[in-house]
Amino acid sequence: MTTLHPGAVFGHYRLDRILGEGGMGVVYDAFDTRLERQVALKMVHAHLADRQFIDMFIREGQTLAQIRSPHIIAIYDIGEQQGSPFIVTQFIKGGDLSGLVRSKGPLAPHLACLVNAQVAGALHDAHQVGIIHQDVKPSNVLVRNPASPLDPFAFLCDFGIATSSSDSPAGGITGTWNYLAPEYIRDERDAQGRPIMPEPSRDIYAAGCMLWFSLTGRIPYAGEAVQVAMAHQNAPIPQFVGTDEWTREANRILQLSMAKDRRNRYQSAAVFKDDLLKLREITAPAQIVPAPSMTDPNPLPILVAAVRAPSESEAILIEEAARPSKITPLRVGAAMVGVAALGVGGALAITQPWVEHGPEPIVPTVKGAAYADVNGDKFGDVVTNTQNPDGKGVDVVTWKSDGRTLTPSKAVTYDDPALPADNDGSEVFPLCADFTGDGKNSLITFVRSEKGFNFHGDLEGSLKAPAGVVEQGKKMAGSTFYYDLGTDDFDGDGVADLFMATTFGNPDPDLDRQGRTVGDGAIWVYRGTGSGFAEPTQFAAYPADTREQIVVGEFTGDEKADLVVLNRAAGEPEDKTLTTGTSELDLYQGDGATIAEAKSFSFKHKGISSIVAGDVDGDGRDEIVVGESGRGEGQTITVGTFSDDLAEFSIATRGKLPKPRNTLKTTSRYPVTLADVNGDGLTDVIAASQDTSDSPYTFYVALAAKEGSFQGHELATWKSSPEDVRRYNIMGGTIG
């Protein structure tokens, strides 16, 4: 096949421009017309693609596909078309680490630590699935946002000569001399005379060499190939001169990563990463001085661009000052180096040849469907349901996430004669879950009807209200009937079930307006069948007179839904919002059919405006997520976790949703829902709030993290938001 020109169509990819071209193939900036995203498409010339080359080409694609890591280039597609093998990968805007250091000089110590820690994390992710990279070097590390003083983002690429733990060892040298571990230069063999299997310590040695290069702009050992090989085996490990804390710790890390004996190196890239992140927090000296070596007996001191990592506010000022007036694609010298690698090292060794300013698309790393992912792109979405502007029914809008922002879809309007004329969305329930059992999410909207609900979307049909609710209603004469719909997997069969939570208001109108309920609350479950829902059965009943809020989630690790009831805090009975104090939290463990006796826990909190359930730390169990309101300071995110033996309930503050720019004098209360908006497998916290009482609502997110604080930022402005957004107007996955 001859080179295709920009504008050509290759399968379902539109080729927008050529990023680079060499003797072996072409790299395109392309657009995936199916998933609507920018990609890098790498195509090998058909006349050069013999069987051995195609095997190596496919092997790299398969290797990449085994790894789930935010810091490893993601593979989207691989195949052969019109005689040309091709691979489609994540598109990275930036440059490689080698070109960055050679053009800008050594990285500031805090940036070098961060970038190399990210690479170490990528190596750990690869090692966890038995993949050894074998060619870690600066030109195989792409850096997005390289000019950012706070958050450059590194990607490890080129797994063309990677091996897996299932491979048979082969003789010979693979890798790059300047970053090759001593044991492979020595061609060490086992007792049977076979070459030793590649180990994680080989990658760690190369990463240690790369750390030195990042900090100094120099390779650890210089000279001809033989001299470099001998130095890796016998020369002293590079060190810095000095006795300050940063220098001592940097030297220790270099000793542990570049030890000549692999048994003395870091045995885990994760420990290497942790040490680099700790070093990042230590203030560096104003200049770092490499110790003399055979190849450089009188090294010059290296002036440090910044002795510490900037604060967030300092970083914003630095980025604003450096931001160009317009976006300009700039071809850099590394372009043809990367493309030339198609014919030298690995089949896919491509260095990104364009430097462009602007955010790089986020690539989801979640396995399976992301929580609340409506459109199947592995990013969790948000769904809103509000009264149609013309007063005819309710508009349901899917706000699609790209990992960084939300974009609204065209509204779908639902109407039914049973809906009140002034319905504010509280009688319409768009729910996102795996209702069919195929591992993919479906969006189904449940709309109140005369006898129950009609449902629309990926499944269509109708449901009758539970007969038990009708009977209970007869006994609660004078009380208002209240209900919510939600979804969870109650029996652990992999198919989402529908549940209805019911309560009855207080016959006293004043107490009813305050949210006071009477009698028993109940949970009714419509079991999912994969094509619809079975007749409802009662799952749980609980005292409702002290109930403030309920949460359904899988808290105990058995993959079956449980019930949590948060009872009213001691305080003024007229205040229907949970006040600051200590409440009783009751956990009812579900067994698939009913619930066990309640286990009670104390919960000390501030005023609570929202309480939901989701897996924010990726451990496979849901946590309690609470939005605690505060005056003008934004909403605190508190996470509650049950111990494995269900004997304890612990809470931790994990961050804050941003406070309004024009700080409100009233208490900040946000309607909250959950969705994995950045596709990392952790359930994020999304809220809507106003800056002022007459401004449109804004969506905010607090991005979940396994450890540390949830980082918050703005997602989108809800320009056509209603005057008063309630919790039932904003939905993610199982929140109804």
Residue 316, pLDDT above cutoff 60 = no
Contact in structure between 540 and 594 (CB atoms under 8 Å) = yes
Residue 390, pLDDT above cutoff 80 = no
Mean pLDDT along residues 86-94: 83
Helix-, strand-, coil-residue percentages of the chain, each rounded to 5: 20, 35, 45
Distance of CA 602 to the CA centre of its chain: 32
H runs (alpha helix) in 217-265:
225-234, 245-257
Amino acid 278: pLDDT: 94
Residue 578, pLDDT above cutoff 60 = no
375 vs 365: CA distance, rounded Å: 16
Structural domains of the chain in order of their starting residue, each with its CATH number: 8-90 (3.30.200.20), 97-163+176-290 (1.10.510.10), 371-508+517-717 (2.130.10)
Distance of CA 218 to the CA centre of its chain: 35
277 vs 307: CA distance, rounded Å: 15
The confidence band for 256, taking pLDDT boundaries of 50, 70 and 90, is very high
Amino acid 574: pLDDT: 46
Contacts of 586 (CB under 8 A, 6+ apart): 542, 564, 565, 566, 567, 598, 599, 600, 601
Q: What is the pLDDT of residues 664-681, one digit of tens each?
A: 444 445 678 899 998 888
Q: If you average pLDDT over every residue of the chain, what do you get?
A: 78
Q: What is the pLDDT of residues 418-472, one digit of tens each?
A: 777 777 777 889 999 999 998 889 999 998 888 888 999 989 999 998 887 777 7
Instruction: Please tell me whether the overall predicted TM-score, pTM, comes out greater than 0.75 for this model.
Output: no
Q: What is the pLDDT of residues 635-653, one digit of tens each?
A: 788 899 999 999 999 988 8
Let me know the angle formed at the C-alpha of 330 by 329 and 335, rounded to the nearest 5 degrees.
120
Question: Which of 39, 42, 19 has its CA nearest to residue 30?
Answer: 39
Mean pLDDT along residues 311-331: 36
Q: What percent of the chain has pLDDT over 70?
A: 75
596 SS3 class: coil
Residue 355, pLDDT above cutoff 50 = no
Residue 225, pLDDT above cutoff 70 = yes
Q: What is the pLDDT of residues 541-556, one digit of tens each?
A: 888 767 778 899 999 9
Residue 62, pLDDT above cutoff 90 = no
Residue 522, pLDDT above cutoff 50 = yes
Q: Which two tokens stand for residue 423?
A: 């319905």
Q: What is the pLDDT of residues 142-187, one digit of tens each?
A: 888 766 655 688 999 876 545 554 443 444 444 467 888 888 766 6
Instruction: Pick the more confident residue, 170 or 225.
Output: 225
Amino acid 603: pLDDT: 86
The confidence band for 327, taking pLDDT boundaries of 50, 70 and 90, is very low
Mean pLDDT along residues 125-148: 84
Contact in structure between 392 and 416 (CB atoms under 8 Å) = no
735 vs 295: CA distance, rounded Å: 65
The residue type of 111 is: L
Q: What percent of the chain has pLDDT over 90?
A: 26
Active site residues: 135
Question: CA 534, 536, 541, 546 torsion: positive or negative?
Answer: positive
The confidence band for 699, taking pLDDT boundaries of 50, 70 and 90, is confident
Residue 240, pLDDT above cutoff 70 = yes
Instruction: Pick the more confident residue, 238 or 197.
Output: 238
Amino acid 147: pLDDT: 63
Amino acid 303: pLDDT: 62
Question: Which of 722, 713, 717 has its CA nearest to residue 694?
Answer: 722
Residue 128, pLDDT above cutoff 50 = yes
Contact in structure between 383 and 373 (CB atoms under 8 Å) = no
Q: Which residue has the tokens 């009708």?
A: 470
580 SS3 class: coil
Tell me how far apart the terminal alpha carbons of the chain are, to the nearest angstrom.
54
Let me know the angle formed at the C-alpha of 86 by 84 and 88, rounded to the nearest 5 degrees.
160
State the helix-helix crossing angle for 200-216 and 97-104, rounded to 10 degrees.
20
Contact in structure between 651 and 347 (CB atoms under 8 Å) = no
Q: Which residue has the tokens 């940036």?
A: 111
Residue 37, pLDDT above cutoff 90 = no
Q: What is the pLDDT of residues 711-727, one digit of tens each?
A: 777 888 887 766 666 66
